[in-house]
């Protein structure tokens, strides 16, 4: 019996890979790539509706736990860079933008007058709290949608995928991550 099914444009492109190119022999791997791509695109779209980029939010979040420290407030650019695993010049650009928005300020380190620390302003703390509330609300909604059992499975699978990724990094990628690049 002959199959009269004509593949849709979406099905035809998915058979060539997530980007329309050949290369994925395993349809499960292809679907996984497409799912991750959709998830990342949706995350970017959410951030596009905000006043702050994902990178700016990550910088603000990294400063939060040091914002209340009386003996050593804030972080040096190099410390933020190491936490986020990106270069110091990248962090410097984020800090400049966040300073213009009034969310962070640079202060001289009282213990080492040569060093400059980046600290959250009151408005920066408010933005971080708003982001935390939004993330909490979203994650609670996701758990409600998936159910506890599927949420635990998803957590387990994401952790397992992260472990696989860290074990399969090329030596130069692993070194870059250790150096914060």
CATH code: domain of residue 107: 1.10.10.10
The answer to the question of residue 62 being in a domain is yes
Of residues 105 and 43, more confidence is placed in 105
Residue 17 located in a structural domain: no
Per-residue pLDDT at 29? 86
> Average pLDDT, stretch 61-67?
82
Query: Which pLDDT value is given to residue 12?
Result: 41
Query: The tokens of 75 are what?
Result: 């972080």
66: in domain? yes
Buried b (16+ CB within 10 A) or exposed e, 68-93: eeeeebbbbbebbbbbbebebebbee
Q: Which domain holds residue 114?
A: 25-146
Q: Is residue 48 assigned to a domain?
A: yes
Q: What is the pLDDT of residues 25-54, one digit of tens each?
A: 678 888 988 888 888 777 766 655 577 888
How large is the average pLDDT for residues 147-167? 94
Q: Which residue has the higher pLDDT, 153 or 71?
A: 153
- Does residue 63 fall inside a structural domain? yes
Tell whether 179 is covered by a domain: no
Question: Per 3-state DSSP, what percentage of the chain is helix, strand, and coil (rounded to 5)?
Answer: 65, 5, 30
- 181 — pLDDT class (breaks 50, 70, 90): very low
Number of domains into which the chain is organized: 1
Does residue 180 form part of some domain?
Answer: no
CB contact at 8 A, 33 and 18: yes
Q: Is residue 151 in a domain? A: no
| Residue 152 in this model has a pLDDT that exceeds 70 | yes
Is a pLDDT exceeding 60 seen at residue 58? yes
Q: pLDDT averaged over the chain?
A: 80
């Amino acid at each position: 019996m002959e199959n009269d099914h004509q593949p849709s444009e979406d099905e035809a492109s998915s058979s060539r890979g997530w980007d329309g190119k050949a290369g994925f022999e395993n349809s499960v791997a292809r679907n996984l790539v497409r799912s991750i791509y959709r998830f990342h695109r949706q995350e970017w779209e959410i951030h596009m509706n905000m006043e702050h980029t994902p990178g700016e939010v990550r910088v603000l979040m990294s400063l939060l736990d040091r914002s209340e420290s009386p003996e050593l407030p804030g972080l040096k650019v190099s410390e933020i860079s190491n936490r986020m695993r990106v270069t110091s010049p990248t962090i410097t650009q984020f800090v400049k933008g966040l300073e213009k928005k009034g969310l962070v300020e640079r202060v001289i380190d009282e213990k080492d007058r040569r060093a400059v620390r980046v600290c959250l302003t009151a408005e920066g703390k408010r933005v971080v709290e708003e982001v935390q509330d939004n993330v909490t609300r979203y994650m609670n909604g996701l758990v409600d949608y998936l159910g506890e059992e599927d949420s635990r499975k998803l957590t387990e699978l994401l952790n397992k995928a992260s472990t696989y990724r860290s074990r399969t990094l090329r030596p130069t990628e692993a070194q870059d991550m250790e150096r914060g690049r």
